[in-house]
Amino acid sequence: MLTPSSGLPLPISLADAEQQHASLTRFLNKTHAAICVLRGAAQVLDYCNPAFERLFSGQPLPPGRPLADVFPGAVAPELVAALDEVYRTGVSFLGVEQELALAPAAELLAHPRYFTFSFDAYQEHGHIVGVSFFAYDVTDAVLARRQNDALQAEALAAAQRQAQERATFHQVFEQTPAAICLLREPLHRIEYVNPAYQRLFPGRELTGRSLVDAVPEAAAQGYVALLDQVYRTGNMYFGAEMPLVLAPPGGGPPTTAYFTFTYQAFQENGQTAGLSVLAYDVTEQVLARAQMEALRLEGNRTSQQQLRTSTDLDTFIYVASHDLRTPIGNIEGLLAALRDELPAEALQAGAVEPLLARMQRSVERFKLTIAQLTDVALLQRAHTQPAETVDLAALVEDLRLDLVPDLATAGAELTVTVAACPHVSFAPQNLRSIVYNLLSNALKYRHPARPPVVELRCRSTSGTVVLEQDNGLGLTEDQQGQLFGLFQRLHDHVAGTGIGLYMVKRLVENAGGTIAVQSQIGEGSTFTVSLPGNA
């Protein structure tokens, strides 16, 4: 939940969180997007929704198995390599209208299937732990576009007529970095522009005016003539890295920007009704490539440092140019899916609603929610991990080494006294997560007026009691009651999802233990973790 002014998360109740979780689960079960979460370097299936099962196997997929085992002989080596690269580097991989062999054999014999998809790494405690797979089946759109270039515009127009019923999709266009404009009639009257398009022409009134009146430089540089051609012929126009000289508001020297864009006609009642403009500002990439070419022509800088810089720039430009194609395919896939879902009577609605642009914000919020829910879903797997005899001192020392940069940055003093319980019977990874969360929180929520002093100690009773004490910000009684709730954020000055202590509590209680907090505002907090049994 976000505040309108600050954009920061507000605490929500556990009931609200559970309701949101249930709503999102229902959405995932109904959405046409195929979603899969792979965990670990072995690409083990952690979660997949029904759409993924229908598209890629036709039957339920068992979690806990590597992707290559689920689809033996069908996973292309380049697909595995891309997943490995995302897991290793954290850099997302985007595939646009690519043919994938993850489908029933009978379907593959009939015709190939095409997908627009993304592989995105997700992290826990600052480390990459898996890859999410988000895909749309765009086969119909690919085949249809090959037969009729105007299908994209028709799908866009049909989807726009349903914007009143699908108002949430407005968020897509409103949040996308692509500049989007809808034009009507032969004079190209501007019906809608998204914020990215408006930012290209600050201070100008665009909506309701013809493009020639609103952006005269577009006419002077030949872009209106291109629009006339597309309107007249119905053929899509694609421009790559084309320059546009813009007049700044209030005078001053003009500036040149470069855009990759499409002009696409859309129809109503069998007639061309207008044009859609989808553009990406690629000025940085063009200038970077030009700079690289100039450096290459100089030929007198051969140091290893320049070679590394040039290689990095090459990689950046390749990735950036690859990314430019992805949003077009994604939007096309979304619009095609929307059109397929709408009933016949809805397709006959007459008003074009410019609120389609909410779709992107929904997608971004959806990705964030999936990342958060993935962390929560890991608790189920953690619950099944067997207990082992853990050397507590060695585990804490390992964590201390991981936290050395944070301890140095905070100027913190960490005292560890765990000789009283040298061995603990617990799942090692779970115990590590518990102690790490407590220590890292003590550093994150330190008091600004003094260096943090953190103490970790333990005592052995009928089980093991681990205590973490700090001199940080402290908590009120009300905050202590909310502390272990799902998605609870009690302080907004540091980044977080509000699930760390919730996971700690679940890990402790799943093992039959308890966790409690004693705190005084402005003085600090003490967390007491009681674990059953002794090693």
Domains in the chain with CATH codes? 25-143 (3.30.450.20), 174-286 (3.30.450.20), 296-364 (no CATH), 385-531 (3.30.565.10)
Is 449 buried (19+), middle (13-18) or exposed (0-12) by CB count in 10 A?
Answer: exposed
Per-residue model confidence as pLDDT tens digits over 4-50: 444 555 555 677 767 766 776 677 677 778 888 889 888 898 888 88
Which residue type, as a one-letter code, is found at position 167?
Answer: A
Give residue 275's pLDDT: 92
Q: What is the DSSP string of 303-324?
A: -HHHHHHHHHHHHHHHHHHHHH
Q: What is the DSSP string of 57-102?
A: TSS---TTSBHHHHSTTTS-HHHHHHHHHHHHH---EEEEEEE---
pLDDT at 499 over 80: no
Is 340 buried (19+), middle (13-18) or exposed (0-12) by CB count in 10 A?
Answer: exposed
**423/419 Cα distance (integer angstroms):** 9
175 φ, ψ (degrees, to nearest 5): -105, -20
Instruction: Using a pLDDT cut of 90, give the percent of the chain over it.
Output: 12
Q: Which run of H or of E encompasses 114? A: strand 114-124
Per-residue model confidence as pLDDT tens digits over 60-79: 777 888 877 776 555 567 77
pLDDT at 373 over 70: no
Of 306-310, 332-336, 432-436, the least confident? 306-310
- Structure confidence at residue 210 as a pLDDT band (50, 70, 90): very high
Mean pLDDT computed over 291-307: 70
- Structure confidence at residue 375 as a pLDDT band (50, 70, 90): low
- Structure confidence at residue 317 as a pLDDT band (50, 70, 90): very low
* Cβ contacts of 405 within 8 Å, gap of 6 or more: none
Give residue 264's pLDDT: 92
pLDDT at 366 over 60: no
Give residue 302's pLDDT: 61
Per-residue model confidence as pLDDT tens digits over 130-160: 998 888 888 887 777 777 655 555 656 655 6
**Can you point out the beta strands (E) in 334-488?**
357-358, 388-391, 413-417, 423-426, 453-460, 464-470
Give residue 71's pLDDT: 64
pLDDT at 367 over 50: no
Give residue 186's pLDDT: 92
Three-class SS of 481-498: HHCCCCCCCCCCCCCCCC
Give residue 506's pLDDT: 86
Query: Which value, to the nearest 10 degrees, does the dihedral of the CA atoms of residues 358, 364, 366, 367 take?
Result: 160
Q: Indicate the angle between helix axes 151-160 and 139-147, nearest 10 degrees.
A: 120
Instruction: Provide the β-strand partners of residue 265.
Output: 275
Which residue type, as a one-letter code, is found at position 49?
Answer: N
Average pLDDT, the chain: 76
Mean pLDDT computed over 372-387: 59
Give residue 474's pLDDT: 85
Mean pLDDT computed over 483-494: 70
- Structure confidence at residue 230 as a pLDDT band (50, 70, 90): very high
Give residue 109's pLDDT: 44
105 against 282, higher pLDDT: 282
pLDDT at 169 over 90: no
Token code pair at residue 87: 């897991």
Give residue 344's pLDDT: 57
